Structure 1
Amino acid sequence: MQTILSIENLSKVYASGFRALSNVSLDIRRGEIFALLGPNGAGKTTLISIICGIVNASEGRVRVAGHDIVADYRSARSLIGLVPQELTTDAFETVWATVSFSRGLFGKPANPAYVERVLRDLSLWEKRNNKIITLSGGMKRRVLIAKALAHEPQVLFLDEPTAGVDVELRRDMWELVRGLKANGVTIILTTHYIDEAEEMADRIGVINAGEIMLVEHKDVLMRKLGRKQLTLQLEAQLSAIPAALASWNLELAESGTELTYTYDSENERNDIIALLKNLSEAGIGFTDLQTKQSSLEEIFVSLVRKDPMATATGKGEVSAR
């Protein structure tokens, strides 16, 4: 897929000496939903702020559809929409006026039909003549999204867009995001709701302490780093795992009636067949079995904590390109 956002060796060091970003390189593909995950202070908002021209980088280069964000700022910025974390709007303007004004800021001609469509998509049409100060927090969040979409951007940043909002807005937003993607808009999402990333994103990036730890397609990431467990309910109680099964990664429950096998999914079928054969040869039968795969949240937590297994399995095998 064609790259629309290219980030090369980007670093940010503040006057205090704090290094917020360190040699970040990343390519975002046109028309994808990219989820950037990381703990508080990892550098997510700093990275977005640099791309959007709010913060100056110390080193590195960023291009949006070939336009350098420094040398060709106006062209680059006109392609970007940003929904920030903070509710920053003119409290005494109407919804219609503030969204229309945002469109004009980017030199777009007036298009009432387009603005109306955006407001309707965000359930704001009935509030179009209301002043922002009169709106609820959820409605103000919708206005921020409408403002970001007003100039028809090709790249949309959603920085914690559903933090503290109601279930209805979350649902409406993801319907809107799917529609934007269908129309070729690239979405970069930061979120603390990892279930959202798991459901919505095409690719996942993990950033920690200002460095990109990995970037990978969601399904590939789950397959590479997602540990699986096979749990067997045994026919008879075991006092210990037989020596013949010592080479397998097995764990016996305290009750002695449940045996758990932890494995990756690379050779899943062959491994399980071999295990069951070994169990049969050892005279161990079972009455039931079930499997469980680790969630994206568990993978994320293990990476951020620098879990040796996750780091060894993942960081060295995936790239940010």
Structure 2
Amino acid sequence: MPGAIYAEGLVKTFGEVRALDGVDIDVPEGTVLGLLGPNGAGKTTTVRVLTTLIRPDSGRAEVAGIDVVKHPNAVRRSIGLSGQFAAIDDLLTGRENLQMVGQLYQLSANDARRRAGELLERFNLADAADRIAKTYSGGMRRRLDLAAALVVSPPVMFMDEPTTGLDPRNRQQLWQVIQELVAGGTTLLLTTQYLEEADHLADTIAVVDHGKVIARGTSDQLKEQTGGEVIEVVVHDREHATTAEEVLRNLGDGDPVFTEHTRRFSVPVAGGAKLLAEVIRELDTRGVEIDDIGLRRPTLDDVFISLTGHATEEEPAGETDQDDAKDSKGSKGSKDAKGRRSGSKAAARKEAS
């Protein structure tokens, strides 16, 4: 049975750019899927298809058991969305923004006011609740946008890089909010550039590149695909680097990699703590003084480099950003949509007054 978020064979092109090339997704109810990939991989395009903002060229998708193409309005009533950029009204206060969203969802004026107050407290915005939003900092705007996505506690949530621009404290706070939502039964699709975020929040991870899902699994499963453990050594003096490299090559399972400015070697190994002790003894015997040494498992960074050939924040050479290409080709439609949304906001304000 398909999950709360389901997609099969999604294809979407923008001119010569094939943003999605057969994306398959299945997210069980009450779980978190982390959708990861480099810039231009198709993550945001996938979110926009699933949230009915654009139509796929082919393939099918369901959210909360509802076809996103056949019944888009019904899908919209079942989801919350926080996009990459804060979608708030700069001329309203923080409180008015949240009350307006509540009334657009047909909450009573009293319920909208109560819910706005709860969310302002939850996102540390209570002190700025009655300031107009254009005076907010970037991080405050981001938090207000996230609060707006949670006004009605939807059964399915989409968060497109939700913590971009947040400081570490507010990022941790949002992680706690997400965990509480999921514990209450909410299903979440999360795109992020922070691999620590996916490691911390996602039940499963799908790695997207060039519009395709190229790997999926839990964080541990993806790390296991990358290989075994890695020993890292920081030598005290660069003059000992050659000797250290020789020791690590003899005891490791590959060629050591040396980072000049940090004096750090890393080498894949098999043997765990026992081999680590042997490396320490051999370095000591050879007179190599070290500042640090450790054994670690592969990280999601290692997974990305292994699967895609580059880190998440890098854009593949020779590619345009597929999401940027989409925005430029569809900019007129986006402005029209904003205009319609502004009209709805004005109507809601009038009704509230």
CA shift for structure 1 position 199: 2.1
Query: Which portions of structure 1, spanning 4 or more consecutive aligned residues, are displaced by more than 6 angstroms?
Result: 237-241, 284-289
Residue 249 (str. 1) matches residue 249 (str. 2): no
Q: 2:300 aligns with which of 296, 300, 303?
A: 296
Q: Deviations over 1:247-272 (max 9, x none)?
A: x8355899xxxx987357xxx68xx9
Q: Do 1:12 and 1:59's aligned partners in 2 also have CA atoms closer than 8 Å?
A: yes
Q: Is the 8 A contact 1:87 1:140 kept in 2?
A: yes
1:129-208 alignment, distance < 5 Å: 129-208=130-209
* CA apart distance, 1:46: 0.7
CA contact (8 A) 1:80 1:153 kept: yes
Which residue identity is paired with 2:151?
A
Distance (whole Å) between structure 1 residues aligned to residue 50 and residue 246 of structure 2: 57
| 1:6 Cα deviation from its structure 2 partner | 0.6
Aligned residues of 1:102 and 1:150 also touching (Cα < 8 A): yes
Match of 2:309 in 1: 305
Deviation sequence 1:175-217 (CA, Å, 0-9, x none): 2111112111122221212122122222111111111111111
Deviation track 1:15-40 (CA, whole Å, cap 9, x = no partner) reads: x2321101111101222222111111
**Contact 2:31 2:182 survives alignment (8 Å):** yes
What SS does structure 1 have at the residue aligned with 2:223? helix
Aligned counterpart in structure 1 of residue 268 of structure 2, from 245, 248, 262: 262
What's the counterpart of residue 66 of structure 1?
Answer: 65
Q: 1:24 to 1:128 in 2, by over 3 A?
A: same
CA distance in structure 1 between the partners assigned to 2:211 and 2:257 by the alignment: 41
> Given the two structures, how large is their TM-score scaled by the length of structure 2?
0.70
Query: Given residue 106 of structure 1, which amino acid in structure 2 is its aligned partner?
Result: Y
Seen in structure 2, the aligned counterparts of structure 1 residues 101 and 59 have a Cα distance that, compared at 3 Å, is same
The answer (yes or no) to whether the contact 1:250–1:260 under 8 Å persists in 2 is no
Residue 9 of structure 1 aligns with which residue? Answer: 9
- Aligned residues of 1:33 and 1:202 also touching (Cα < 8 A): yes
Q: Say whether the 8 Å CA contact 1:226–1:299 is kept in structure 2.
A: no
Q: Report the 3-state secondary structure (helix = DSSP H, G, I; strand = E; otherwise coil) of the residue aligned with 1:206.
A: strand
Give the Cα–Cα distance (whole angstroms) in 2 for the partners of residues 200 and 149 of structure 1: 18
Q: 1:261 to 1:162 in 2, by over 3 A?
A: closer
Which has the larger displacement, 35-44 or 195-204? 195-204
Q: Which moved more, 1:20-29 or 1:150-159?
A: 150-159
TM-score (normalizing by structure 1): 0.76
Cα 1:94/1:206, change in 2 over 3 Å:
same
Conservation of the 8 A alpha-carbon contact between 1:33 and 1:201: yes
Q: Structure 1 residues 169, 252: CA separation in 2 closer, same or farther (over 3 Å shift)?
A: closer
Tell me: CA distance 1:217–1:109, structure 2 relative to 1, closer, same or farther (3 Å).
farther
Larger helix fraction of residues: 2
SS in 1 for 2:40: coil
Gaps of 5+ in 1: 308-321
Shift of 1:66: 0.8
Q: Aligned pair in 2 of structure 1 residues 176, 251: CA closer, same or farther (>3 Å)?
A: same
